[in-house]
């Protein structure tokens, strides 16, 4: 929570500026604009035509492992279509996964057939108005019989490196990786369907040293080759105190356009927050990065639930027919100051298997008409005896996500308790220096996909009856006594 800032809500009904709604964004965006960090507020994104861009999507790394070319592309098409039809506009893909990997048989040689698969992927993304974050590498060792290995880069197989450390620090390996970037630039340079190029998946998990300097240098190389696309890097799950400094290092790199964080519900994690409610662990991950004081967009770029120490997908996923884990991953980050909703893993075993795609439409509806850079949002958390209240306060709009603190993955999935109906709840916003006496106040229930007009009296907002969560939207002019919010 940012302290020392006084807020005053002017009593102007309907003063919010009308922006093209999220549900109509696909029709308005012709796909020729690039995503960029907003100059109006660098904590958020926008398109190069000046319109707002909130990345609503998920990790969709690859089709099923045994998919052939035809079936794999058909499966990706179905998933991306489902996302797009629910107003999603973002997908992350690992280009280094065997299904897409152009450099798989020999170091420095690129497979035309695999390249055509990537061509098809970009074409379907354009068709459905979805932008892609493309991850270039994810291997962790150069050994042939270990997981996440890529032995083709070892000198014994004609590669340039004696070890992973040599891959990062050696001039031969660095020069070869630059040539690989040249190959990608020659084929996919200046393409607005690409949201960002990501150097590596969780690079601090590699079996070697030198990744930090390599990252800093290769971010520069990415910007040289893709000046219109964003460039970024990712680290492993923020589930222990030791990883805080690597996160600070990578997020602070000048060439890293996005502060990304990975965090999961993991009962084997050393940080207690990772074993608790999903909304809390997701929100806290965003706050960890905000504490670095950087003027960059923040994304919860990987999230979800796993068996202890990432030993497999969460066994309770099958019981989550309502999608409460996905819901919390989506809503908690944005309402804590992130540039978009959280991006869940297990796209196939959880989101698609349980047909949870509608949750993306529900988030899009909750933020419909919102232009975050224009709002200059400030996140805060309000106090309530039975609800966790996550709020972003802007110039014209205040959004409050109200989460029932008694309903969690443990109560609903493990203990199988039906979420209770919250009746007669009120929000006293006067303590935050706000008044809703003449403002337009509406409440959105994402579980029912229903808006209602809220009753307000003496600084209190009366919430309709609901289960699990609702979003309160106050539309009014907001003025600050301090203009330097961060």
DSSP 369-435: T--HHHHT-EEEEE--SSEEEEEEE-SSEEEEEEEETT--HIIIIIS-PPPPEE-S-EEEGGGGT--
| pLDDT tens column, 330-381 | 999 999 999 999 999 999 999 999 999 999 999 999 999 999 999 999 999 9
Query: How would residue 177 be classed by pLDDT, with cut points 50, 70 and 90?
Result: very high
Q: Is the pTM of this model over 0.85?
A: yes
Query: How would residue 308 be classed by pLDDT, with cut points 50, 70 and 90?
Result: very high
Q: Does 10 score more than 90 pLDDT?
A: no
Where does residue 468 rank: exposed (0-12), middle (13-18), buried (19+ CB within 10 A)? buried
The predicted pLDDT at position 22 comes to 36
The gap from C-alpha 143 to its chain's centroid, in whole angstroms, comes to: 32
Domains observed in the chain: 22-368 (3.20.20.80), 380-480 (2.60.40.1180)
**In the beta sheet, which residues pair with residue 99?**
none
What does the DSSP assignment read for 139-173? --B--TTSTTB-GGGBGGGT-SBSSHHHHHH-HHH
CA distances from 447 to 72, 213, 342, 463 (A): 32, 46, 18, 15
What does pLDDT average to over the chain? 91
Q: Does 21 score more than 60 pLDDT?
A: no
The gap from C-alpha 411 to its chain's centroid, in whole angstroms, comes to: 26
Choice between 290 and 433, residue whose per-residue pLDDT is larger: 290
Give me the mean pLDDT over the 230-240 stretch.
98
The predicted pLDDT at position 431 comes to 66
Count of other CB atoms within 10 angstroms of residue 190: 12
* 430, 431, 432, 433 alpha-carbon torsion, rounded to 10°: 50
Where does residue 67 rank: exposed (0-12), middle (13-18), buried (19+ CB within 10 A)? middle
The predicted pLDDT at position 438 comes to 67
Give the SS3 label for residue 345.
coil
- β-pairing, 298-302 vs 259-262, is parallel
């Amino acid at each position: 929570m940012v302290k020392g800032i006084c807020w005053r809500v002017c009593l102007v009904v309907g003063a919010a500026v009308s922006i093209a709604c999220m549900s109509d964004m696909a029709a308005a965006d012709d796909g020729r604009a690039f995503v960029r960090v907003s100059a109006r507020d660098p904590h958020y994104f926008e398109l190069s035509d000046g319109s707002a861009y909130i990345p609503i999507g998920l990790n969709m790394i690859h089709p099923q492992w045994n998919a052939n070319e035809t079936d794999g592309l058909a499966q990706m098409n179905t998933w991306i279509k489902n996302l797009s039809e629910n107003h999603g506009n973002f997908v992350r893909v690992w280009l280094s996964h065997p299904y897409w990997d152009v450099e798989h048989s020999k170091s420095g040689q690129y497979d035309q057939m695999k390249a055509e698969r990537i061509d098809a992927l970009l074409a379907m993304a354009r068709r459905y108005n979805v932008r892609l974050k493309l991850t270039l590498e994810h291997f962790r060792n150069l050994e042939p019989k270990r997981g996440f290995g890529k032995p083709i880069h070892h000198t014994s197989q004609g590669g340039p490196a004696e070890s992973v450390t040599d891959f990062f620090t050696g001039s031969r390996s660095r020069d070869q990786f630059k040539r690989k970037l040249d190959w990608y630039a020659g084929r996919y340079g200046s393409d607005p369907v690409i949201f960002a190029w990501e150097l590596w998946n969780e690079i601090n998990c590699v079996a070697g040293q030198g990744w930090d300097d390599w990252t800093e240098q290769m971010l520069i190389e990415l910007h040289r080759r893709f000046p219109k696309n964003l460039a970024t890097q990712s680290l492993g799950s923020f589930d222990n105190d030791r990883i805080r400094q690597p996160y600070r290092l990578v997020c602070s790199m000048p060439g890293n356009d996005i502060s990304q964080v990975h965090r999961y519900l993991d009962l084997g994690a050393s940080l207690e927050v990772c074993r608790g409610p999903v909304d809390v662990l997701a929100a806290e991950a965003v706050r960890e990065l905000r504490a670095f004081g950087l003027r960059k967009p923040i994304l919860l770029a990987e999230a979800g639930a796993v068996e202890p120490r990432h030993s497999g997908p969460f066994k309770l996923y099958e019981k989550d027919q309502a999608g409460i884990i996905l819901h919390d991953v989506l809503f908690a980050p944005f309402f804590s100051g992130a540039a978009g909703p959280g991006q869940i893993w297990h796209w196939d075993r959880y989101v698609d298997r349980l047909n949870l795609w509608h949750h993306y439409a529900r988030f899009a509806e909750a933020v419909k008409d919102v232009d975050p850079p224009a709002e200059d949002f400030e996140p805060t958390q309000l106090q309530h005896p039975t609800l966790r209240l996550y709020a972003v306060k802007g110039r014209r709009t205040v959004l409050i996500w109200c989460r029932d603190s008694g309903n969690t993955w443990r109560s609903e999935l493990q203990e199988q308790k039906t979420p209770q109906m919250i009746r007669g709840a009120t929000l006293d916003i006067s303590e935050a220096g706000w008044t809703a006496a003449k403002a337009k106040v509406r409440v959105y229930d994402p579980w029912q996909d229903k808006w209602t007009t809220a009753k307000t009296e003496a600084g209190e907002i009366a919430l309709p009856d609901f289960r699990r969560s609702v979003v309160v939207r106050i539309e009014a002019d907001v003025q600050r006594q301090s203009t330097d919010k961060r």
